[in-house]
Amino acid sequence: MLAYTYIEHEKFELIEKPKPVISDERDAIVKVTLASICSSDLHIKHGSVPRAVPGITVGHEMVGIVEQVGSAVNTVKPGDRVTVNVETFCGDCFFCKNGWVNNCIDQNGGWALGCRIDGGQAEYVRVPYADQGLDKIPDSVTDLQALLVGDVLATGYWAANISEIKREDTVLIIGAGPTGLCTLQCVGLHQPKRIIICDVDESRLAFVRECYPDVLTVTPDNVRECVLSHSDHGGADVVLEVAGSNDTFRMAWECARPNAIVTVVALYDSPQILPLPEMYGKNLTFKTGGVDGCNCKETLDLIAEGKIDTVPLITHTVPLKDIAKGYELFESKRDGVIKVAVTMD
Ligand SMILES: NC(=O)c1ccc[n+]([C@@H]2O[C@H](COP(=O)([O-])OP(=O)(O)OC[C@H]3O[C@@H](n4cnc5c(N)ncnc54)[C@H](O)[C@@H]3O)[C@@H](O)[C@H]2O)c1
Ligand SMILES: [Zn+2]
Ligand SMILES: [Zn+2]
């Protein structure tokens, strides 16, 4: 089969590999029908994910059809249409039982697919702990509608859920990339009074104005004034930092009102400074971390009910044979690209 593979620093290549086989009774083999490209794939390519293993097939956001299951798999069977979870988790350890699946103690726990074990920018993928890692897609939901469920939508859903959003709140989201836009939709489920989204990229803000006309858009130079004039207590009640630039961590806590929640979804290339003397008396609560991606069933149901729709985010599609062009487009942010889907035909 064809598999897009991390060869070495700065080099991914589409190569022929053997089809994966069941190697544990809790595995499933999934025939991938649609995959997508994520900013974390670019981080592997550019060497900022040291635990990524050269030779692995990349890709950790995909949907497909179950082809084969191990003898201990109970929740899915061959022929089922499924989403694949970005995280591998056993479901049995202390952390899994508390819903902190990002910290599963299994040797492959956390983000392993497309990083430490073969992922899904390929015709087939082996999914460990298939009862945890796969969710059946409802009949009324298409593969395209379900494509982002396992990774960026899981992240947005998790981030909105941990942010303690209330109806009277002004919520500021920094970053309108794929993850920020998924976060925006999930924040909307909590029905805060106002949502403001900040990005440097005017085309992304234009996309927000077109798709979510109730959301206020702002660029970084005006963000403080905008938040002040659209909040009731001198700053945002909740801030979600989903950009990960040099200055966005500072922007996040500076735009927050005293006693606000600041949720840091972004991953940074360099350490960030927590200037406690400057913050003293602001009494902020920070929440950070890797997504606990165990809510895919709920998000699939919300998609089926029409309450979440990530299809507009998938702006481009390429066949697997042209995946390198898809990467080039995604990385260049040309042509209004937000997400690129990869088909297997
Ligand atoms: N915590 C997790 O588990 C998790 C999961 C997925 C993604 N992430 C992280 O979330 C972040 C966003 O991911 P993405 O895929 O949407 O990436 P992305 O790079 O496509 O999006 C970032 C957005 O932030 C904007 N931006 C850049 N500088 C800015 C600034 N100074 N002010 C305002 N906006 C600015 C960019 O224009 C872009 O639209 C990344 O840091 C990613 O690593 C974390
Ligand atoms: Zn990802
Ligand atoms: Zn576990």
The domains of the chain, with CATH numbers, are 2-151+292-343 (3.90.180.10), 157-288 (3.40.50.720)
Confidence of residue 48 (pLDDT cuts 50, 70, 90): confident
Residue 158 has pLDDT above 90, yes or no: yes
CA distance 30 to 340: 20
Look at residue 25 in the predicted model and tell me its pLDDT.
98
Instruction: Specify the ligand 1 atom closest to the Cα of 289.
Output: 1
Q: For residue 81, give every residue at least 6 positions away whose Cβ sits within 8 Å of its Cβ, in sequence order, or none.
A: 33, 63, 64, 65, 136, 137, 143
Which pLDDT score, from 0 to 100, does residue 345 have?
83
Q: What number is the average pLDDT over the span 106-111?
A: 94
Q: Is the CB of 86 within 6 Å of ligand 1?
A: no
Q: In the predicted model, what is the mean pLDDT of residues 98-117? A: 96
Ligand 1 site, residue 245, Cβ cutoff 6 A? yes
Tokens of 131: 């009862």
What pLDDT is attached to residue 241?
98
Q: Is the pLDDT of residue 148 over 90?
A: yes
- Digit-coded pLDDT (tens) for 196-222: 999 999 999 999 999 999 999 999 999
C-alpha closest to that of 192 among 144, 151, 240: 240
Give residue 337 CA to ligand 1 midpoint distance, Å. 14
pLDDT at 232: 96
Nearest CA to ligand 1 atom 19: 177
Q: Which ligand is nearest to the CA of 90?
A: 3
Can you tell me which atom of ligand 1 is nearest the CA of 246?
Answer: 31
Which tokens belong to 306? 């029409």
Range 228-253 average pLDDT = 97
pLDDT-derived band at 137, boundaries 50, 70, 90 = very high
Residue 307 has pLDDT above 90, yes or no: yes
pLDDT for 269 equals: 81
What's the mean pLDDT in 292-317? 97
- Given this model, what pLDDT does residue 141 score? 98
- Would you mind telling me the total number of residues written for the chain in this entry? 345
Mean pLDDT estimate for the chain: 97
Interatomic CA distance for residues 251 and 261, integer angstroms: 14
Average pLDDT over residues 258-281: 93
* Burial category of 18 from C-beta neighbours within 10 Å (exposed 0-12, middle 13-18, buried 19 and up): exposed
Ligand of minimum distance to the alpha carbon of 88: 3
Inform me whether the pLDDT recorded for 3 exceeds 90: yes
Q: Cα 8 from chain centroid?
A: 24
Q: Which pLDDT value is given to residue 270?
A: 87
302 lines ligand 1 (CB under 6 A): no
Find out whether the beta carbon of 42 lies less than 6 Å from any atom of ligand 1. Answer: no
